[in-house]
Amino acid sequence: MTDEELWALANGGDTEAEEELVKRYSVTVRVCARPYFLTGGDSEDLIQEGMFGLLSALRHFDPQKYVSFKTYAERCINSRLVTAIRTASRFKHRPLNDSISFESPQFDERQILSTGNLRDPEEMVITRELTEELRSALYAKLTKLERGVLSLYLEGLSYTDIAARRGISVKSVDNAVQRIRRKLSAV
């Protein structure tokens, strides 16, 4: 069946035809999302946005306009991706995009202190030692670049400022932060 025939069935309420179109175009969504970078997000967020674009194409396609479903779907997918990127990179979202918690809830010193006895000096020393061991274990797993990025980030610098200081791209900073997150979760 052609895409247009499947669309006609899906438009008539056939969920299997709609699912088939989504399956056919899931690769197209991934291909369209690949060259983009979403500040504060990852590739799966972009793929999800692309899927929303595909669903929009399924809902609003008009075969009377003399354009193929494939062309219309690609246009909707790309349009949704660009809109998502513009929305994410607006200045008003900067605090959300630049802030990342490096603290894992199970290793948060404040949480450990709040569950322990604050008046017990022994518990406080043990907590500090545990925290320092975890930091040491994390730093041992980090590369020189990742340690530098983490140090600057913990000083409160944004991705842009870190990139300028280290002489690397903002994307490299984001990649380093993502690797740090994965390594932190493995510690």
What does the pLDDT read at residue 44?
85
User: Which of 146, 30, 40 is closest to 84 using CA atoms?
Assistant: 40
Residue boundaries of the structural domains of the chain = 3-93, 100-186
Shared fold status for 3-93 and 100-186:
no
What does the pLDDT read at residue 98?
56
Q: pLDDT tens digits for 59-103?
A: 888 888 888 889 999 999 999 998 888 887 766 555 555 555 555
* CA pair distance 126, 28, nearest whole angstrom: 53
* CA pair distance 24, 30, nearest whole angstrom: 11
Please determine, looking at this structure, whether the domain spanning 3-93 carries the CATH number 3.90.700.10.
no
Residues of the chain with pLDDT under 50: 104-118
Please list the alpha-helical segments (H only) found in the chain.
3-11, 15-33, 43-60, 69-88, 94-98, 109-115, 121-141, 144-154, 159-166, 170-186
What does the pLDDT read at residue 129?
80
Residue whose entry in the numeric block shows the structure tokens 């990139």: 163
What does the pLDDT read at residue 5?
87
Cα dihedral sign for 42, 45, 49, 54? Answer: positive
Please determine, looking at this structure, whether the domain spanning 100-186 carries the CATH number 3.40.50.2300.
yes
